[in-house]
Amino acid sequence: MTYSIKHLFHINAKPGDVYKAISSIEGLQNWWTIETSGNTEQNRIIHFRFGANGGPDMKVTESKPGEKVCWQCVSSPHGWLDHTFTFLLDENEGKTRVRFSHAGWKETDDFYAICSFSWGRYMESLRQFCQTGKGEAFGTDGYRK
C-alpha cells in the first residue's frame, strides 16, 4: 500500500496562466525554488535544488496545456525516487481549481508530515505567484524558513 499527499485549492487566475506557472522553468522558479533548471517538455528532466540540501530530478511524464502536468521523480537525495506528482487544473466558478497529489509514500511517518506541510506552503506560494506575480519560492527574499 502507498499513500499520497493531496491538496485541493482555487487560484483566481485562468487555467492557462496556472499551467504556465507549473510547466515552465521561469514559473517554477517563482513559486517552488529559484534553483530550477532543465527542460519542461514531455519525457525530459527538470532539476530542483534547495541549496545545500540538494533536491529531486523530475521526469515530465505528461503535460496537457491548461489541464494537467505530471512528473516522476528519477533522482532524489531524500527518498522520493519513483514518487509521482500530479497537478490537475480545471475552471470552477471563474477560478482555477488545482488538485495536487504527491504519490508513492510507503508510510505516513514524520518526513511525510513535513513534506505535506511544506507542499501546503508551496501551493500557497503558487497561488500568490499566479494572483500577484510574486511567490515565496525557496531562495527568494519572501521565503520563510
Percent of residues, the chain, with pLDDT higher than 70: 97
Q: What pLDDT is stored for residue 143 in this prediction?
A: 65
Q: CB 9: neighbour CB atoms within 10 A?
A: 15
Along the 145 residues of the chain, how does pLDDT read in single tens digits? Answer: 999 999 999 999 999 999 999 999 999 999 999 999 999 999 999 999 999 999 999 999 999 999 999 999 999 999 999 999 999 999 999 999 999 999 999 999 999 999 999 999 999 999 999 999 999 999 987 665 5
Rounded CA separation 27/32 (Å): 9
Every domain of the chain and the residues it spans: 3-132
Convert the pLDDT of each residue in 50-77 to its tens digit.
999 999 999 999 999 999 999 999 999 9
Q: What is the pTM of this model?
A: 0.96
Q: Which CATH superfamily is domain 3-132 in?
A: START domain (3.30.530.20)
Q: CB 139: neighbour CB atoms within 10 A?
A: 14
Strand boundaries in the chain, DSSP class E: 3-11, 35-38, 45-49, 57-64, 68-75, 84-92, 95-105
